[in-house]
Structure 1
Amino acid sequence: MSKIVIVGAVGGGATAAGQIRFYDPDADITIFDRDSTMSYAACGTPYAIGNIIKEPESLLMADPQQFKEKRNIDVFLKHEVLEIRREAKQLLVRNLDSGEQFVESYDTLILAPGGSAVIPEIVGLSSANVFVLRSYGDMQGIQRFIKENKPKTCVISGAGFIGLEMAENLKHLGLNVQIVHKSSQVMSILDSDISERIEAELAANNIQLHKDAVIAKAGPQKVELSDGSQLEADFIIMSVGIKPNTELAEGAGLPIGKTGGIVTNEYMQTEDPSIFALGDASENTDLITGEAKRVPLAWPAHRQAFLIAQKLSGNAIPKKGLLGTSVVKIFSLTAAMTGLNERTIRDKGLAYKTVIHQGNSNAGYYPDHAKIMLKIHYDAASRKILGAQCIGGKGVDKRIDVLVTAIYAGLTIDDLQALELSYAPPYSSPKDPINMAGYKAFGK
């Protein structure tokens, strides 16, 4: 009987355990995690804070007892793996409650340690109320602070996914919210013209944005920015980035790639074939360029869990590269992207063309319709799609998902006009925006 030990019990680790059990009913599976909760929907935490999700407990997908009863998987929470002893195939584990240390053996080890929020060194930060949002416990801490202290102002550092989602949800609670962002545009993974629409939406909802600035000093109720601005802040949300938790892998001598993630092969194995890595801390490849890529999002972690389970069950499926497909809600807007953005394409010196379509999400005469902007970059010679972005009031995710499928299938920009997409006035137009982009690019 194979003994499989997994480090990390959130999305990737818990999913890997469940997948392995599905394909191997006899495997001995054990999970260790230093947190006090497991298998929670981390992407839902901003909406629980904003009281959009009324029952935060609904984000908890499972607990150790359920995993044991339903899947015969042993889960040990508040247990930290301190060391990997590769030659002996052993782990040194510490029970965080008792302080006891013990040795656990393994035949296969799966690392799903996730990532940690980056907290910059800022003068006076220790005297301020500072929060990050990387765990269920972080969510509870923010909720508790808001309930007990009834704050009126918040400064969010960072205008990425978490920063924007938290801005909307805190505004929903009635707080005065300001965002500080070190770059000249929000959501730097997007093209600047798409980001500008997000910035306009923030302004329309009275979210003040301070670009090209960082928090230089902090205090109990105020922060000072690098541009000299003074902002009131009953508390601060830090969302400036995520650092992959690779310390355990590094201590075991496993290679770390240029993206900062644990290097993995086509089957998610590290340099040591008995050790796999997945999720936020793993380095993968870009589907379009073939270069190293790290995508700390939910979909890649779940897919990688399936690939590991297949490899261990004797049905090895090599991974494809990642596109970094993502979507975010900002008040009345939705923005989504996949593949390469324009800045990356230019940095790589690729010859490309761009087609932009601005129109309606569905029939303009139908009462419920919205404006959308669809932007697609494609190779000038092969006409293969390199990347796409879309922003608008509705139907944005649908269009990006079609383009993800087109890229994966190797379709060209010209193939888009021939796609027979579903149409009825509440959903689209006889020529969908995807079709229109293909027609506009034809012969260009």
Structure 2
Amino acid sequence: MADLFDSTPGTEEQHDSAHRPLADRLRPRSLSEVIGQEQVLGEDAPLGVMLRSGSLSSLILWGPPGVGKTTIARLLADETDLHFVQISAIFTGVPELRKVFEAAKLRRQTGQGTLLFVDEIHRFNKAQQDSFLPHMEDGTILLVGATTENPSFELNAAVLSRSQVLVLERLSLGDLERLAQRAEQELGRALPLDGQAREALLEMADGDGRALLNLIEQVAAWKVEGKLNVDALSKRLMKRAAKYDKSGDEHYNLISALHKSVRGSDPDAALYWYARMLEGGEDPRYLARRLLRMAVEDISLADPQAQQLCLHAWETYERLGSPEGELALAQAVAYLALAPKSNAVYMAYKAARAAARKTGSEPPPKHILNAPTQMMKDQGYGDGYAYDHDAEDGFSGQNYFPETMRRPSFYLPVERGFERELKKRLDYFEKLRAKRN
């Protein structure tokens, strides 16, 4: 894995390393040389504490590509004198796993433990993941799994209960700058970029150390005079596509960010996350559907026009397509963010559903039941029903809940937007109901 540090090879090593990729030449030789991930590797961070106390446990390293998962696993094996074995869940099946476990058992008999590093561990199915358990429990292997997916959803509870999940973060611009400086030291020359172009190069890496080293290797191979500016760099080097998996964690993280920005009445943040998802290749129709859901859940009757505007924006997109139709959805994003917010109907609906489950099959009160047969009339169906249009103010105030059920209050409109008016109406009818009853 192409992570993160400089080394200062001797003359012979320099000659041999000239043909190796820059990322391989800059592999850290100890955990102290790893750039970034202080929240995991620091003295008082989880791995630092484990190593000091000699109590290293099985680990799940969760983080985006290019942040050091493989390197950290390999260096952990070095620092604990464990034999390092690396496999990929993409290419490994049950027969290969059996061989790995048997070899680890033989190694254990000679007094050496095994650190088994499993890349893309989330790609193993339940049975394959279960096969690790007895060997983790008896100490045959110390498992270190790497995943870019949320372990809570992708890994068995049994594996998680026997492991500690460590979250690795994308590298900051400061981390990437340190990595770039070490790459320049290894290359023996500075990159031919001015300040803004250098910053643009770091941003292109998008927090991925391996990607940055690959970009630097390309730039270093150019024969240019002077320093390139941002425009010249952009013409020579295509911007990396943003990491975005439309079926993975990033998809759900970004739609959550968009939804919460709308709910928080921040149109700038909402438009940013909307744009991020489009740039990542998200289907605008999915966004249109989610915007309509936001209008229903978070704005509701505080602004009844919000739902209609979302439907119009969706229809406009269907007529115009991309990219023109995306502007209509952007208008909906901004409108929703600035609209008055209320989840009163949403909460009322949830409370009504809970009450419906609790009361089971309680029948409606007899006075509001129709009586199409004489037998039903004889049983009191429809007796005492008050036709509201004939009542004073068009309101009878009669009970519509089951007779055994105490009248609840589900809908509690807020003092915002159009719901102010609805609250006035609700209060008006409550007063009439109290007066009539």
Check whether TM > 0.5.
no
Normalised by the length of structure 2, the TM-score is: 0.31
Normalised by the length of structure 1, the TM-score is: 0.31
Q: Which structure has more strand as a fraction of its residues?
A: 1
Q: Which structure has more helix as a fraction of its residues?
A: 2
| Structure number with larger C-alpha Rg | 2
